Structure 1
Amino acid sequence: DCKLQMGGSDQWGNIVNGIELTRRIAEKQVFGLTTPLITTASGVKMGKTVGGAVWLNAEMRSPYEYWQFWRNTEDADVTRFMKLFTDLPAEEIEQHAKAEGAAINDAKKRLADVATTMLHGEEEAKKAAAAAEAVFTGGGSAEGMPTFEVPRAQIVGGYPLLDALVAGKLAASKGEAKRAVGENSVKLNGEAVTDVAAMIGEAALDADGTARLSVGKKRHARLKAV
């Protein structure tokens, strides 16, 4: 009984074909509505085929990853995205539009805080912001960071770094994990790891039984021994 299909303007052809198919088979009139694609200032499409889908489901993209997505917005897009994806008052957005230098980062954090609060709630947004601070400045709490569990017995015996990167969803495969290590993109507790055969042992765990892993500047996870 669906009467209307909505989609991005790049789906116009598919929607029109669906309208025609419905007319021929069901002899019913249905409609299509498209909206302009949202692109970044550099012309890159925001969608599942570019940089991974921006899932709203927390199981598909954690609140921390969602917060980071907005925090990594290009400078030229910050106020436009505030208008599109938040309910901030126009007066505040206008003030952020005047931001220069380091103040732009404050505007990005504001965008990330508000967008994450609207979807996941204020508590999760605060956890995500604190986790980001823990990663980049060494302060704050890492509680909101994506966390995966590994039996402590495996850590005691030495847990392969490559396995950890895959288990933490920081790499899709061991091959990708190896490449990341070879490109000097992998860090364990903030220290670069250059050995693909590296093992994570108990010495890497903090008092809470956790260790932090990162690939590049945007992918982070926390290993927790259980």
Structure 2
Amino acid sequence: MQIYEELKARGLIAQVTDEEQIRELVNNGKATFYIGFDCTADSLHVGHFMALCLMKRLQMAGNKPIALIGGGTTMIGDPSGRNDMRKMLTKEDIDHNAECFKRQMERFIEFGDGKAMMLNNADWLLKLNYIDLLREVGACFSVNNMLRAKCYEQRMEKGLSFLEFNYMIMQSYDFYHMFQTVGCNLQFGGDDQWSNMLGGTELIRRKLGKDAHAMTITLLLNSEGKKMGKTASGAVWLDPNKTTPFDFYQYWRNVGDADVLKCIRMLTFLPLEQIDAMDSWEGSQLNRAKEILSYELTKLVHGEAEADKAQEAARALFGGSGSSENMPATQLPEARFSDGKIGVIELLVACGLCASNGEARRLIQQGGVAVNDQKVAAIDVTFDQEQFAGDGVVIKKGKKVFHRVYTA
């Protein structure tokens, strides 16, 4: 099976322009394609992970990826899929986040001469003259068509700023610029980006003629990625300092029964024949499928050694052996204890399970905290310092987050 057919079989493709040309381009390793990543945080998350896996697949098939860091577009903010305007970041924040993205992407994509490229749209967007842009590009966009775009639709009632309204033009200009300068002939993005991405395809054709073969594929990335990329406690990050390998493993271990095989198809590099054989799995076999999913994705993001540790810790914890050696852990310093005791609220904040005393208080009142399998019933519960000696105690937050706390 060739790569385009494999992408379809894995359930990745949502909409395409010029399907026959795209199939020819991709299957013959002739695509120079880009996916954009706006720098809104200092780590990539699970939604980005789906795009990185796609880039890796296409590179393995001989195509050339461009990882486009949105140093320029992040200064505006994409309104797609949002109910309010994004937080305005400083240029220093954006530059820092871009550097963090680069380090993480290098785990998935091979960069270098003749291989993948990493570009930053700040290099051309920040140099644009507004009047020149209006004359060169603005005349190619119909405001009526833009207002009908899905990416603006849900923002119209609550208010869409003129700043955000320009995002489609900036994104379109990215494709137009890279088509001319580095031979980028294909763009990929989430299915909620269709209108934005068509803007780039149409801009190229209007400015450079109908023989300028620029093509677009949108993928079932954003709808799935946004659903998968967050939990009740926040985003699932690729940075191990923000989401530990164990918590990353546990996140995937707890996907719903209905989603596990879809996730295996879309995200792992297991052969489709092996995945197809799992279609008939049910009951306890689905737990085995979740374990396969968790291990494969943790190995991709954090390496085999960390995946082994996470799997061993999960099996020990849920198999009843009580071992917590490879669980995320915090060592409490002596200063955290007052008269040899620590309150449960301070304990949750000290080990990073809650960001504030207020959040910790609410979590306890909602019945969401257990220590050594005993639910914490009141906010004034305290623990003796001696309880944290040796292996310490295991805190369970909600149903999925486990954390070991100990003293020296």
Same fold (TM over 0.5): yes
Equivalent position of 2:261 in the other structure: 79
2 CA distance for matches of 1:112 and 1:167? 28
146-155 vs 160-169, greater mean Cα deviation: 146-155
Counterpart contact for 2:246–2:328, Cα < 8 Å: yes
> Deviation digits for residues 26-84 of structure 1, max 9, x if unmatched?
xx8356642333445xx963345976323111112110111011111111111111121
Q: Offset at 1:221?
A: 1.0
1:188 aligns with 2:367: no
Which of 149, 158, 173 does residue 356 from structure 2 map onto? Answer: 173
- Which amino acid in 1 is paired with 2:255? T
**Separation in 2, partners of 1:163, 1:17:** 49
- Map 1:48-59 → 2, pairs under 5 A: 52-59=234-241
Q: 1:129 aligns with which of 299, 311, 315?
A: 311
Is 1:219 the equivalent of 2:249?
no
The TM-score normalised by the length of structure 2 is 0.47
- Superposed displacement of residue 21, structure 1: 7.1
> How many pairs align?
217
Instruction: Say yes or no: does 1:35 pair with 2:190.
Output: yes
The question of whether the paired residues in 2 share the 8 Å contact of 1:127 and 1:141 is answered with no
Find the residue that maps to 1:97 and give its secondary structure: coil
C-alpha contact (below 8 Å) 1:170/1:220 kept by paired residues: no
Determine helix, strand or coil for the equivalent of 2:311.
helix
| C-alpha distance 50-192 of structure 1, shift in aligned 2 (>3 A) | closer
Letter in 1 for 2:236: V
Secondary structure of the 2:235 match is coil
2:286 maps to what in 1? 104
Does residue 1:16 correspond to 2:168, yes or no? yes
Partner of 1:63: 245
User: Using the alignment, how far apart are the partners of 2:375 and 2:365 within structure 1?
Assistant: 11
**Offset from partner CA, 1:173-200 (integer Å, 9 cap, x none):** 1111111211222111111111211112
SS in 2 for 1:222: strand
* One-letter amino acid matched to 2:314: A
Taking the aligned partners of 1:133 and 1:145, their CA distance within structure 2 comes to 11
SS class of match (1:80): helix
Q: Share of identical aligned residues, percent? A: 33
Map of 1:90 onto structure 2 = 272
- Compare CA radii of gyration and give the structure with the larger one: 2
CA deviations over 1:145-193 (Å, ceiling 9, x no partner): 2211212464571011111111222222111111121122211111111
Distance in 1 (CA, whole Å) between partners of 2:343 and 2:322 is 28
RMSD (Å) for aligned C-alpha atoms: 3.1
Aligned to 2:326: 144
- Kept in 1: contact 2:389–2:407 (CA 8 A): no
Deviation at 1:141, TM superposition (A): 3.4
Structure-2 separation of matches of 1:22 and 1:123: 39
Counterparts of 1:111 and 1:33, CA distance in 2: 24
2:278 aligns to what SS in structure 1? helix
CA distance in 2, matches of 1:154, 1:45: 38
| Cα distance, 1:184–1:4 mapped onto 2, change above 3 Å | closer
Post-superposition offset of 1:215 = 1.4
Consecutive unaligned residues in structure 1, runs of 5 or more: none
Q: CA deviation at 1:212?
A: 0.7
Q: Which residue in the other structure is 2:59 paired with?
A: none
Q: 1:181 to 1:52 in 2, by over 3 A?
A: closer
Structure 1 residues 194 and 134, CA gap change in structure 2 (3 angstroms): farther
Q: Is the 8 A contact 1:131 1:140 kept in 2?
A: no
TM-score between the two structures when normalised by the length of structure 1: 0.81
> What code does the residue aligned with 1:161 have?
V
